[in-house]
């Protein structure tokens, strides 16, 4: 759990849902899918779905913070998304910039720390400038971490890490024979962050779409048919109920003490 305090009324609400704090995920990652489909079903342009999706982001961030999540990672823009029409990409950049500006004071008030993973190259300077400002102004917050995956790709991240390790080895800063999982993880964009316990995908698609390929090796998957613009706290609760019902063995045998397995995994260098 993060340093976020769960209020008594939220604990009571958790209990009414059949959940307890010790059965909640520590880190939730979400593939926010279905904005375009939501708009198409209403005969509207795709950008209308993206705009409505911001409401789901706000609702999800708020609920995760209230329930004491340590980190929430949202897949905002993949490296493959640059294939989309320029008008849509321009709107997405404008929406992202607007979000980090408008929500800046709220993030500070709620003690939420903003971070970003992904390649900076190719992103507009105005967007990066506002992201960097919000990151700087929330750096000392000690509540939940909100991580935005922007211009991100799992394969790109792994390739970038391999390139950096190779350069360090070339310079003699690292012994190739010492490279292990812990070492490799320290060169990823996500170095220092806990690995996701739960990966949620909306809109019913059954693929990971190049998201956190290294980090989700032991994550639990939850797929819902709900389109992202309709995703709210009740849908998050459904995902948490499904997660709490699973036996996380991390390679152990059925009947293994799952709580001990989870704590051992979280205490490992990778987590």
Q: What is the pTM for the complete model shown? A: 0.89
**pLDDT the model gives residue 20:** 86
**pLDDT the model gives residue 251:** 66
Answer whether residue 77 shows pLDDT above 80.
yes
pLDDT in tens, 239-265: 999 999 998 876 666 665 555 555 655
Answer whether residue 54 shows pLDDT above 80.
yes
**pLDDT the model gives residue 80:** 95
**pLDDT the model gives residue 90:** 96
At residue 220, φ and ψ (nearest 5 deg) are -85, 135
For 125-159, b where at least 16 C-beta lie within 10 A, e where not — what string?
A: eebbebbeebbeebeebebbbbbbbbbbbbebbbe
pLDDT in tens, 217-241: 999 999 999 999 999 999 999 999 9
Helix axis angle, 46-66 to 86-102, nearest 10°? 30
Catalytic residues: 33, 81
More confident residue, 269 or 193: 193
**Burial classification of residue 210, based on how many CB atoms lie within 10 Å of its CB (0-12 exposed, 13-18 middle, 19 or more buried):** middle
**pLDDT the model gives residue 248:** 80
Q: Number of structural domains, the chain?
A: 1
Residue 243 within any structural domain of the chain: yes
Residue 97 within any structural domain of the chain: yes
**pLDDT the model gives residue 3:** 45
- Look up the CATH number of the domain holding residue 226: 3.40.1180.10
Answer whether residue 56 shows pLDDT above 70.
yes
Answer whether residue 194 shows pLDDT above 60.
yes
Residue 15 within any structural domain of the chain: yes
Once rounded to an integer, what is the mean pLDDT over residues 13-28? 88
Residue 250 within any structural domain of the chain: yes
Q: Which residue in 130, 72, 143 sits closest to 103, CA to CA?
A: 130
Residue 154 within any structural domain of the chain: no
Answer whether residue 100 shows pLDDT above 60.
yes
Q: Domain span at residue 82?
A: 8-149+192-266
The two structure tokens encoding residue 266: 């979280």
Residue 165 within any structural domain of the chain: no
**pLDDT the model gives residue 267:** 59
Residue 157 within any structural domain of the chain: no
User: Which three-class secondary structure string do you get for the chain?
Assistant: CCCCCCCHHHHHHHHHHCCCHHHCCCEEEEECCCHHHHHHHCCCCHHHHHHHHHHHHHHHHHHHHHCCCCEEEEEEEEHHHHHCCHHHHHHHHHHHHHHHHHCHHHHHHCCCEEEEECCCCCCCHHHHHHHHHHHHHHCCCCCCEEEEEEEECHHHHHHHHHHHHHHHHHCCCCCHHHCCHHHHHCCCCCCCCCCCCEEEECCCCCCCCCCCCCCCCCCEEEECCCCHHHCCHHHHHHHHHHHHCCCCCCCCCCCCCHHHHHHHHHHCCCC
Residue 183 within any structural domain of the chain: no
The two structure tokens encoding residue 51: 């705009």
């Amino acid at each position: 759990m993060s340093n976020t305090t769960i209020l008594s009324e939220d604990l009571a609400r958790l209990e009414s849902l059949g959940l307890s704090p010790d059965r909640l995920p520590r880190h939730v990652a979400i593939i926010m899918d279905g904005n375009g489909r939501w708009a198409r079903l209403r005969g509207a342009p795709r950008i209308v779905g993206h705009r409505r999706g911001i409401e789901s982001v706000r609702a999800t961030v708020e609920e995760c913070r209230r329930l004491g999540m340590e980190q929430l990672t949202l897949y905002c823009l993949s490296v493959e998304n640059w294939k989309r029409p320029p008008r849509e990409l321009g709107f997405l950049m404008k929406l992202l910039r607007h979000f980090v500006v408008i929500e800046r004071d709220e993030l500070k008030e709620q003690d939420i720390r903003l971070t970003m993973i992904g390649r900076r190259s190719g992103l507009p300077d105005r967007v990066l400038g506002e992201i960097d400002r919000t990151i700087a102004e929330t750096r000392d917050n000690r509540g939940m971490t909100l991580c935005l995956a922007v211009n991100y790709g799992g394969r790109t991240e792994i390739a970038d890490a391999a390139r950096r390790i190779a350069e360090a080895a070339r310079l003699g800063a690292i012994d190739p024979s010492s490279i292990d999982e812990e070492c490799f993880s320290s060169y990823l964009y996500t170095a220092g962050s806990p690995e996701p316990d739960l990966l949620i995908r909306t809109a019913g698609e059954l693929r990971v779409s190049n998201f956190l390929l290294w980090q989700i090796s032991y994550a639990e998957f939850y797929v819902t048919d709900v389109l992202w613009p309709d995703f709210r706290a009740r849908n998050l609760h459904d995902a948490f109920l499904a997660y709490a019902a699973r036996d996380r063995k991390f390679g152990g045998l059925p009947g293994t003490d799952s709580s001990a397995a989870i704590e051992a995994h979280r205490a490992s260098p990778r987590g």
